[in-house]
Amino acid sequence: MNETVEAIMVLRRVFGYPAFRGDQEAVIRHVLEDGDALVLMPTGGGKSLCFQIPALLRPGMAVVISPLIALMRDQVAALRQLGVAAAALHSNLSPGESMEVLRQVEEGTLNLLYVSPERLLMPHTLEWLKGRPLALFAIDEAHCVSQWGHDFRAEYLGLGVLHDHFPGVPRLALTATADLPTRAEIIKRLGLEGARHFISSFDRPNIRYRIIIKERPLEQFLQFWRAGHTKDTGIVYRLSRKSVEEAAAWLERHGVRALPYHAGMDPEIRTRNQDRFLREEGIVIVATIAFGMGIDKPDVRFVAHLDLPKSIEAYYQETGRAGRDGLPADAFLTYGMEDVVQLRKFIESSEAGEEFKRVEHHKLDALVGMCESVACRRSVLLHHLGDRHEGQCGNCDTCLEPVETWDGTEAARKALSAIHRTGQRFGVNHLTAVLRGDVTDRVLTLQHDKLSVFGIGRELNAKQWRSLFRQLVVTGLANVDLSHGGLHLDERCRPVLRGEQEVRFRVDPNESPPRKKERKPEIPEEGDAMWELLKATRMDLAKEQQVPPYVIFHDTTLREMLEQRPTTLRELERIFGVGRRKLERYGEIFLKVLRTGEPYRP
């Protein structure tokens, strides 16, 4: 039988999907022909199928290298629901559980074995695998090999030995985030110089991007949450462990089912919070970036950053955890100049070399540029990642609410003069007071009320001056002294001061959410009784088996059941995501709920 036909049959019979998406079919065909591959697909784009289907069609066992136990655990659980023989070897297994996995490998009954890079690279593991028939190696989250990246894992650097130890076994490196330098490093570090590249668009059209100026971030998030996400699962990112704890407690007091997550927590509590996030609905996890990579939960409806991420790559990776199911989702970010200063301090205080610091500053500048841009967010984001998006996307704040700009040339000259006249050592608040003619104790003590710039900026209020100073720093006309936070002039400001260069500033939007553009009603109304019954049935089945609800069926599958109202197993089998094994296990249960409108009773 033709390999492509076989792959489509597996796709439909096992996974319940009607057709391949994007490059999936081409990648699978290439691997079935013994080819190595570098696969870049956006989060939710179906990377896993690129190695799972070949694992079921090629002789031998596929070895999947994954950086996180949570990711291994969830993928194994999902595969077992489909009737696929999968297992994982990791440090959380008991000796008896590890022996059972090893027994299955010895007997050749596993289709896929998930393992961490540390475990794989142990000499006895490599030797042990050499005696087994292997279908392929899949290196998931391959961007972790990049020393310039935000998720660098030193253990990934050793995976280049797979080429030498298993020369005839196809290798796939897969990731959702890799700019051109990161791709080059993946190829070099993993010995994939001869691999074929499959680069999909990074666009996630279902995600709506919104970026606002940080003033009261928790209150700003609460307004965003109340405007349309009170029933939803989401992730809130904060920069420090302390701010995570404080934010989770504050949100809980204000009616949000919020749980903290960071690396400094008691491991048992941290694991319990993660499990609740995965297995319950409507949970908001407040976390540092220690949380998220490898989280396969498809129905995360929003990701909110209350502090600025470190780079566009990090922002893309983290926001990509929303809307993996393809349904509408939101990415919400608050940022301010204090975020930029803090991140620059982190870079400068690190023990890394100057070249690394230069790259990190460049990445941060690119992210801040995206935040300040008046252009379509999606266009700027995709351009940085080496992708393109022509015109307006219609699903970000700058497209829905076009940003106004104003001629700030004269105001910029006043601000730059104030920085100069006060000695290039004061922060925004004091400079604003001088420009507005505010007689503060500090102004009087320093006799800055005697300066020629005192009171020359009364036409702008304090908030407008803060916005202007922030944009002066972002555009490089002024710099922040990282030791004390004072502003000083950059050489690039001279043409502005001489009146030779025009400066335009963006008008910061107000705090209220942008008016909603009508979306296709992808998700049924919460009040739909049958929708609630289907979700409750899924939750009860998940609790019985101690797995996350989405392992039973995704929201997209339940939505199609609600729309199509199948009455027979044959009709149900045509629903997206209903493979043969799930049809056998759950078909009659869901048909009965759809037919009678009565809840499932375990």
Decide whether 3-199 matches 207-400 in CATH topology: yes
Q: Is the pLDDT of residue 123 over 60?
A: yes
**What is 3-199's CATH topology?**
Rossmann fold (3.40.50)
pTM of the model: 0.82
Burial of 127 (0-12, 13-18, 19+ CB in 10 A): exposed
The larger pLDDT score, comparing residue 70 to residue 379, is at: 379
Q: What is the pLDDT of residues 25-34, one digit of tens each?
A: 999 999 999 9
Sequence-ordered list of residues with C-beta below 8 angstroms from that of 99, at least 6 positions apart, any chain:
none
Structure tokens at 467: 């916005």
Contact (Cβ atoms closer than 8 angstroms) between residue 3 and residue 24: no
Sequence-ordered list of residues with C-beta below 8 angstroms from that of 478, at least 6 positions apart, any chain:
415, 416, 419, 469, 472, 487, 488, 489, 490, 493
Per domain, the residue ranges of the chain are 3-199, 207-400, 405-506, 529-596
Q: What is the pLDDT of residues 403-437, one digit of tens each?
A: 888 999 999 999 999 999 999 999 899 999 999 99
Q: What pLDDT sits at residue 147? A: 64
Contact (Cβ atoms closer than 8 angstroms) between residue 427 and residue 239: no
Q: What is the pLDDT of residues 370-386, one digit of tens each?
A: 888 888 999 988 888 87
Q: Is the pLDDT of residue 319 over 80?
A: yes
Contact (Cβ atoms closer than 8 angstroms) between residue 309 and residue 318: yes
Q: What pLDDT sits at residue 269? A: 93
Q: Helix, strand or coil for residue 401?
A: coil
Q: Is the pLDDT of residue 113 over 90?
A: yes
Q: What pLDDT sits at residue 149? A: 56
Q: Give the pLDDT mean for 217-244.
A: 95
Structure tokens at 239: 């920069």
CA torsion sign, 111 to 187 to 308 to 201?
negative
Q: Is the pLDDT of residue 514 over 80?
A: no
Q: What is the pLDDT of residues 204-225, one digit of tens each?
A: 999 999 999 998 999 999 999 9
**What is 207-400's CATH topology?**
Rossmann fold (3.40.50)
Q: What is the pLDDT of residues 480-506, one digit of tens each?
A: 886 777 899 989 899 999 889 998 888
- 529-596: CATH architecture: Orthogonal Bundle (1.10)
Q: Is the pLDDT of residue 278 over 80?
A: yes
Q: What pLDDT sits at residue 517? A: 46
Cβ neighbour number for residue 181 with a 10 Å cutoff: 12
Q: Give the pLDDT mean for 354-375.
A: 84
Distances (CA, A) of 341 to 183, 212, 240, 308: 29, 17, 15, 11
**Mean pLDDT, rounded, of the chain:** 88
CATH code for 405-506?
A: 1.10.10.10
DSSP secondary structure letters along 327-357: S-EEEEEEE-HHHHHHHHHHHHHSSS-HHHH
Task: Give 1's pLDDT tier (boundaries 50, 70, 90).
Answer: low
- Among candidate residues 476, 477, 474, the one with its CA nearest the CA of residue 496: 477
DSSP H helices in 509-548: 529-545
Q: What is the pLDDT of residues 297-309, one digit of tens each?
A: 889 999 999 999 9
Q: What pLDDT sits at residue 293? A: 64
